[in-house]
Amino acid sequence: MKLFITDTNVFFDLMNIEALPEFFGLDFEICTTDFVVNEILRLEQAEQIQNFIRSKQLTVFSFSSDEIDKVVNLKTKRMMRRIADKSVLWKALQLKCPLLTGDKNLRNEAEENGLEVHGSIWVVMKIVDAKLLSAEKGIELYEKLRIVNDTLPKEEIEKLIKKLK
CATH of the domain at 20: 3.40.50.1010
Percent of the chain with pLDDT over 70: 100
| End-to-end Cα, the chain, rounded Å | 29
Quote the CA–CA distance of 126 and 133 in Å, as a whole number.
10
Phi, psi at residue 28, to the nearest 5°? -125, 150
pLDDT in tens, 70-83: 999 999 998 888 99
Rg (CA), the chain: 16
Q: What pLDDT score does 100 carry?
A: 98
Residue 61 covered by a domain: yes
pLDDT in tens, 58-73: 999 999 999 999 999 9
Q: Residue 91 sits in which domain range?
A: 2-120
Looking at the structure of the chain, the number of domains it has is 1
Contact by Cβ (8 Å): 11, 37 = no
Tell me the whole-structure pTM to 2 decimals: 0.94
DSSP annotation string for 8-50: HHHHHHHHHTT-HHHHHHSSEEEEEEHHHHHH--SHHHHHHHH
Q: What pLDDT score does 72 carry?
A: 92
Residue 131 covered by a domain: no
